[in-house]
Amino acid sequence: MVTLYGPAPGQPEAQRCGEVGRVAVLSDVNANVPALRAVLEEAGSDGAELFVFTGNLTWGAEPEQTAELVKALGDRAVCLRGNTDRALVDLATATRAPRGPREAWMLNQHSIDTVRLLAGFAFGAVVGVPGLGDVRLCHGSPRSDTELVTPRTPESRFAALAHGMDERTLVTGHTQLQFDRELTGCRSVGPGSIGMPHHIGTPGTAHWAMLGPGVELRRTRYDVSEAARRGVRAGDPSAEIIAWMLHNALTPAEATAEAERLVFSG
């Protein structure tokens, strides 16, 4: 039986935001600071009024630096909970013990203030966007931060995961895939990943989306070699593996097939 990780007890399904003309959606940053800086600069220059981070923000080489960049946005940032954000809070509160050396290392890289930041993330958000209407955003799906939504998710499963959702556009992260898909009665958008996207092409490309008045799937270049070096300097136990993955991403077809095989992961 699959465990669904929805909103925390007492937490609403979604944080409600007013209408915003231009919304930058950044998912799965994974504490990749060079990629995040490049996207923030480009999105800001292109008129982003709100930055929505759809989960898995700090689980990577430089969590404190990542948190500082997000906090500098002030009330222009809305942060949503991903499965790794939830995992870090569970580790920090001793809800569960670290599974392996990297989880123990990751816990030690987060200050108390950053843990509190993660613990305050909403499960989802609804933002009004001219041209799109109300848009629902979350990490995995509206029913679990571990559900994998892809451009090949069967309409029957999509209808089940979106059951009770009034909004006609759903933006989800977690799969690290970038796509824009029309289904019966709904639009499914994946912004892709800032920190480690699945893609075809040159390494060192961060994927994100700009909403308003339509949906723009965006790609921003950054120094991938610097990102790999930062992982080594930080002492990340998985630095070599992550450096290899940054330079050898899964293709969208490979990642989609694996996600649809698993359905839930994390």
pTM of the entire predicted model: 0.97
One-letter amino acid at 214 equals G
pLDDT per residue over 95-104, tens digit each? 999 999 999 9
Instruction: Give yes or no for residue 12 having a pLDDT over 90.
Output: no
Instruction: Give yes or no for residue 116 having a pLDDT over 90.
Output: yes
- Per-residue pLDDT averaged across 148-156, rounded? 98
pLDDT per residue over 22-66, tens digit each? 999 999 999 999 999 999 999 999 999 999 999 999 999 999 999
C-alpha–C-alpha distance, residues 180 and 25, integer Å: 13
One-letter amino acid at 163 equals H
Domains detected in the chain: 15-262 (3.60.21.10)
Q: Output the DSSP codes for 22-90.
A: -EEEE---TT-HHHHHHHHHHHHHTT--EEEEES--S-SS-HHHHHHHHHTTGGGEEEE--HHHHHHHH
pLDDT per residue over 201-233, tens digit each? 999 999 999 999 999 999 999 999 999 999 999
Which has the closest alpha carbon to 177: 155, 207, 156? 207
Reading the block at residue 23, the tokens are: 């919304």
Residues in the chain: 266
